[in-house]
């Protein structure tokens, strides 16, 4: 007889993007050509200086557990990056190296989410966020956030939805799935409100290096009490290495350290040694070139999607996503993405993953693929749309 599974599993939804990826893989096995614009993963991989540092770490036998908070040289390199790029002084002791932003989010939620407490977040949001909260028996309160709010929470919305059950807010800027950022003044007001209420603010800055229009800033500039998540997966092109970090107030460090010791022991030691090389001038020059390429793609794809008849009500200013309103084409984004996969060979993700508010009306496109692929995808979608509009 099978064991009885924990009831909390009922609160965890599958990741539809992965289901579509599985369907796409099956079509590829049958010999179909598929263009992938579903999963949010850079098409670039770690640059040569990072690969060399990883190879060196292996040759030098740096292959054992590290301390749970990460190797000091990497924590110092991250702190120096905050100083060099954002003019911010962040003590290395406040930086905890993790297995990607995923582990950082898990640690932050483990440390802050009380059983039964509400955590405010926009709808749409990164799907795992509500599940991290659910894993610790908190309640993700998803607040409908449309294009008028750049799909983000405003200070007024935080005030309106705060109750005595609210523990804090979980935000991402730039956001997945919308690629939109929270303006500095608005975020500053939100942090002030949450502080006044005695709650916590977690800001996921995983797409921070990929900001195309505004002068980028870190929420760390708004006070030591703001908890910041970051990662080597996106700007640093290291998805499979599983490396990220969390910045917490000094008083939380021993608490998060004991959680990290118990939950993970440490992040991959090879990845940590390689991660230091991300901050060398050679690597940063490569990353900035790649960022310029992402911006070039964004500037191509947004008008191209609009020309096809999708509405893109807010031009994304960061990350590598376009969140497009498909309601003039179909009233069911889910079946539209399945038809686009089967008939046009293009993978896009329905809004369903990101929360109920925009589930049927929106699709997410990831432009983390070559210009050639993007142009081919637009041509295929054009043919598909001409066919279904007949
Ligand atoms: C907003 C956001 N946060 C966290 C993650 C998890 O990233 P990581 O690979 O660093 O665990 C992702 C991945 O897509 C993301 O989009």
DSSP 331-378: S-HHHHHHHIIIII-EE-EEGGGG-STTTTTEEEEE--S-HHHHHHHH
In a 3-state reduction of DSSP, which class is residue 318?
strand
Q: What is the per-residue pLDDT for 276?
A: 98
Q: Which of 111, 110, 130, 107 is nearest to 120 (CA)?
A: 130
Q: What is the per-residue pLDDT for 272?
A: 98
Query: CA geometry: angle at 183 spanning 181 and 185, to 5°?
Result: 155
Q: What is the per-residue pLDDT for 16?
A: 78
**Centroid of ligand 1 to alpha carbon of 168 (angstroms):** 20
Q: What is the per-residue pLDDT for 51?
A: 98
- Please tell me the residue having the least CA distance from ligand 1 atom 14: 40
**Centroid of ligand 1 to alpha carbon of 301 (angstroms):** 22
Task: Measure the CA–CA gap between 376 and 382, rounded to whole angstroms.
Answer: 10
| Ligand 1 atom closest to residue 102's alpha carbon, by position in its atom list | 11
**Centroid of ligand 1 to alpha carbon of 207 (angstroms):** 9
**Centroid of ligand 1 to alpha carbon of 4 (angstroms):** 31
Exposure string over 203-240, b if 16+ CB within 10 A, otherwise e? bbbbbbbbbbeeebbbbbebeeebbbbbbbbbbbbbbe
Ligand 1 test: best mutation among 127, 229, 230, 231, most atoms within 8 Å of CB? Answer: 231
Q: What is the per-residue pLDDT for 148?
A: 95
Q: Which of 41, 49, 32, 54 is nearest to 272 (CA)?
A: 54
Q: Which alpha helices (DSSP H) does the chain contain, by range?
A: 16-29, 48-59, 72-86, 100-112, 127-135, 155-161, 184-197, 253-263, 269-276, 281-308, 333-339, 371-389
Q: What is the per-residue pLDDT for 74?
A: 98
Ligand 1 pocket (Cβ < 6 Å) reads: 40, 100-102, 126, 172, 176, 204, 206, 231, 233, 239, 244
Q: Which residues contact 50 (CB under 8 A, 6 or more apart)?
A: 236, 238, 274, 275, 277, 278, 283
Q: What is the per-residue pLDDT for 12?
A: 86
| Ligand 1 atom closest to residue 99's alpha carbon, by position in its atom list | 11
Q: Which of 37, 17, 33, 16 is nearest to 342 (CA)?
A: 33
- Please tell me the residue having the least CA distance from ligand 1 atom 4: 101
**Centroid of ligand 1 to alpha carbon of 278 (angstroms):** 18
In contact, 145 and 124? CB cutoff 8 Å = yes
In contact, 174 and 141? CB cutoff 8 Å = no
**Centroid of ligand 1 to alpha carbon of 124 (angstroms):** 15
Per-residue tens of pLDDT for the chain, all 390 residues: 899 999 888 888 888 788 888 999 999 999 999 999 998 899 999 999 999 999 999 999 999 999 999 999 999 999 999 999 999 999 999 999 999 999 999 999 999 999 999 999 999 999 999 999 999 999 999 999 999 999 999 999 999 999 999 999 999 999 999 999 999 999 999 999 999 999 999 999 999 999 999 888 999 999 999 999 999 999 999 999 999 999 999 999 999 999 999 999 999 999 999 999 999 999 999 999 999 999 999 999 999 999 999 999 999 999 999 999 999 999 999 999 999 999 999 999 999 999 999 989 999 999 999 999 999 999 999 999 999 987
Q: Which of 310, 337, 315 is nearest to 325 (CA)?
A: 310
Task: Measure the CA–CA gap between 102 and 128, rounded to whole angstroms.
Answer: 8
Q: CB 9: neighbour CB atoms within 10 A?
A: 9
Helix, strand, coil percentages, rounded to 5, for the chain: 50, 15, 35
Phi, psi (deg, nearest 5) at residue 183: -60, 150
């Amino acid at each position: 007889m099978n064991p009885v599974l924990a009831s909390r599993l009922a609160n965890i939804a599958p990741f539809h993007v992965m289901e579509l990826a599985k369907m796409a893989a099956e079509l590829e096995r049958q010999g179909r050509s598929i263009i992938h614009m579903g999963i949010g993963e850079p098409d670039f991989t770690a640059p040569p200086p990072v690969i060399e540092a990883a190879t060196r770490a292996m040759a030098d036998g740096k292959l054992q557990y590290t301390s749970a908070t990460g190797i000091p040289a990497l924590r110092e390199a991250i702190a120096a990056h905050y100083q060099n790029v954002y003019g911010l002084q962040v003590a290395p002791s406040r930086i905890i190296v993790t297995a990607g932003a995923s582990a950082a989010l898990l640690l932050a939620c483990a440390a802050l989410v009380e059983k039964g407490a509400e955590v405010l977040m926009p709808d749409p949001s990164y799907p795992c966020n509500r599940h991290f909260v659910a894993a610790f028996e908190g309640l993700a309160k998803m607040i409908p956030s449309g294009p008028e709010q750049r799909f983000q929470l405003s200070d007024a919305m935080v005030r309106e939805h705060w109750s005595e059950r609210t523990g804090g807010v979980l935000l991402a800027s730039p956001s997945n799935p919308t690629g939109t950022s929270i303006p500095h003044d608005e975020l500053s007001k939100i942090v002030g409100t949450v502080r006044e209420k005695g709650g916590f603010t977690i800001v996921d800055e995983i797409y921070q290096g990929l900001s195309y229009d505004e002068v980028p800033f870190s929420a760390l500039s708004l006070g030591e009490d703001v908890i910041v998540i970051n990662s080597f997966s996106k700007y640093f092109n290291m998805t499979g290495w599983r490396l990220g970090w969390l910045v917490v107030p000094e008083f939380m460090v021993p608490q998060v350290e004991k959680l990290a010791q118990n939950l993970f022991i440490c992040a991959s030691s090879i990845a940590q040694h390689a991660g230091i090389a991300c901050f060398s001038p050679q690597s940063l020059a490569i990353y900035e070139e790649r960022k310029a390429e992402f911006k070039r793609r964004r500037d191509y794809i947004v008008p191209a999607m609009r020309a096809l008849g999708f509405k893109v009500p807010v031009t994304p200013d960061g990350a590598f996503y376009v969140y497009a309103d498909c309601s003039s084409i179909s009233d069911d984004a889910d079946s539209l993405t399945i038809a686009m996969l089967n008939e046009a060979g293009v993978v896009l993700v329905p809004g369903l993953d990101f929360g109920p508010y925009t589930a049927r009306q929106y699709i997410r496109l990831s432009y983390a693929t070559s210009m050639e692929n993007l142009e081919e995808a637009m041509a295929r979608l054009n043919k598909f749309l001409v066919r279904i509009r007949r």
